């Protein structure tokens, strides 16, 4: 049996999964491993994240050639061997498989590639699958979907970015361009195009300056809760209070069911079965438990916050689009200016950070996948910033044993 360090071995799925990334100090960009079962079949292992892809090396009319087969993961070893043998069969018949592949792919439009190949194999494995499908449908399809995959240029993508500037915030614009970058990088990795037109050095993302940092004062929070309790849409009002008290995403709270709640435990919990960053458990605070104990239930409806106002009993599903109710509640509370439902999640994070919590506390409470995302939510209040400044002054003054500004 070949040693793991050898560059020639019988490839198996399990063996490939265990292969480490290529040595970062190596002069070669990728490690090339030859399969002993199919002559010419290679596995290329990259650096950093250790991307793995299959390649076939062959000779055609006394010239050395190579053709990409595809990435490991979407393709198993058995599937890669089958494709490699098909290509070798074409060579034996005097047909260059690489030229034939290029001919067939030239007729492939961006829409065809996205819906037939990218979405089933790549998007379905991403957490952002639903968002990616929506971004492509609403922003990319109309502008570029009908163009041939290998004819989309950097200029086309820059024009798309420019057109989106008028209707999307920088962060939303960047998400669309990041999707395009991943689509074309995948097409290049699979050997469908020679070079991605969406390289980061060619299409730069916009500076994101659209973070919402408005925080409600204590008086405004008090008025908001009072207005929630007075609203004609009872469940919408309680839903907004629940969002602020838990920091949950809108969709998570809307889909919450009574079967997910355990308030009889020493540490009451809400199990979120699926979310943007995977399932997780929320430990409920005292006010949230009190809200749940007093929350009305609709017979036959399993959701905490039923929809269908005012006919809750006839609807049977969860709350869906409570934007009008939120505007009504804000107006009654005397809260003017821009303030959207999602900012309740920011408010929750700011309460944590302004009461001595850390970025890690926010990351755990909001189920973020990275500290960088939590940092965007950690809005310090002016009083907390001033307090921090005074602490520095106090420390230095104590170290010096006097204030240098006293007479």
Mean pLDDT of 341-355: 82
Question: 10-38 pLDDT, tens per residue?
Answer: 999 999 999 999 988 888 888 999 999 99
pLDDT at 80: 94
pLDDT at residue 41 tops 50: yes
Task: Give the integer Cα–Cα distance in Å for 77 and 218.
Answer: 61
CATH level 3 topology of 218-384: hpI Integrase; Chain A (1.10.443)
CATH level 3 topology of 8-100: Double Stranded RNA Binding Domain (3.30.160)
Mean pLDDT of 252-267: 91
- Percentage of the chain beyond pLDDT 70 is 81
pLDDT at 403: 44
pLDDT at 367: 67
How far, CA to CA in Å, does 32 sit from each of 14, 88, 138? 17, 19, 40
pLDDT at 209: 60
pLDDT at residue 293 tops 80: yes
Pick the more confident residue, 107 or 377. 107
Task: Give the integer Cα–Cα distance in Å for 254 and 304.
Answer: 8
pLDDT at 172: 87
Question: 117-145 pLDDT, tens per residue?
Answer: 888 877 556 656 677 888 999 999 999 99
Among 66-70, 205-209, 280-284, 320-324, the range scoring the smallest mean pLDDT is 205-209
pLDDT at 190: 85
CB burial string 153-187: b at 16+ within 10 A, e below: ebebbbebbeebeeebbbeebbbbbbbbbbbbebb
pLDDT at 396: 53
Pick the more confident residue, 359 or 112. 112
pLDDT at residue 389 tops 70: no
Mean pLDDT of 173-181: 92
Task: Give the integer Cα–Cα distance in Å for 183 and 178.
Answer: 9
What residues have CB less than 8 Å from 329, skipping those under 6 apart? 224, 227, 228, 231, 236, 237, 240
Average pLDDT, the chain: 83
């Amino acid at each position: 049996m070949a040693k793991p360090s050898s560059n020639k071995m019988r490839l198996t799925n399990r063996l490939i999964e265990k292969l480490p990334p290529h040595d970062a100090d190596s002069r070669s960009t990728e490690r090339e491993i030859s399969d002993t079962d199919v002559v010419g079949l290679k596995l290329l292992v990259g650096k950093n994240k250790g991307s793995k892809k299959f390649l076939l090396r062959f000779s055609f009319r006394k010239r050395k050639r190579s053709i990409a087969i595809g990435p490991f993961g979407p393709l198993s070893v058995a599937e890669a061997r089958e494709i490699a043998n098909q290509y070798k069969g074409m060579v034996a018949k005097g047909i260059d498989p690489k030229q034939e592949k290029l001919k067939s792919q030239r007729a492939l439009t961006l829409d065809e590639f996205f819906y037939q190949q990218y979405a089933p194999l790549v998007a379905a494995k991403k957490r952002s699958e639903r968002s990616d499908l929506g971004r492509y449908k609403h922003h990319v399809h109309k502008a570029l979907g009908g163009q041939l995959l290998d004819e989309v240029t950097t200029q086309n993508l820059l024009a798309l970015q420019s057109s989106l500037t008028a209707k999307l915030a920088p962060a939303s614009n960047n998400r669309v361009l990041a999707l395009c970058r991943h689509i074309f990088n995948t097409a290049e990795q699979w050997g469908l195009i020679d070079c991605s037109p969406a390289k980061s050095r060619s299409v730069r993302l916009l500076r994101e300056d659209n973070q919402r940092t408005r925080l409600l004062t204590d008086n405004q929070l008090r008025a908001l809760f009072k207005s929630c309790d007075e609203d004609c849409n009872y469940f919408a009002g309680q839903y907004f209070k629940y969002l602020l008290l838990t920091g949950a995403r809108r969709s998570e709270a809307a889909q919450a069911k009574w079967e997910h709640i355990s308030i009889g435990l020493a540490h009451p919990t809400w199990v979120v079965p699926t979310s943007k960053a995977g399932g997780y458990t929320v430990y409920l605070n005292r006010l949230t438990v009190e809200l749940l104990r007093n929350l009305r239930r609709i017979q036959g409806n399993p959701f905490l916050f039923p929809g269908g106002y005012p006919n809750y009993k006839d609807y049977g599903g969860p709350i869906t689009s409570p934007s009008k109710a939120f505007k009504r509640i804000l107006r009654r509370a005397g809260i003017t200016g821009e303030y959207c439902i999602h900012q309740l999640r920011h408010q929750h994070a700011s309460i944590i950070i302004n009461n001595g919590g850390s970025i890690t506390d926010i990351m755990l409470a909001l189920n973020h996948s990275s500290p960088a995302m939590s940092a965007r939510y950690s809005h310090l209040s002016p009083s907390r910033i001033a307090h921090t400044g005074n602490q520095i002054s106090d420390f230095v003054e104590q170290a010096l044993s006097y204030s240098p500004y006293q007479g």
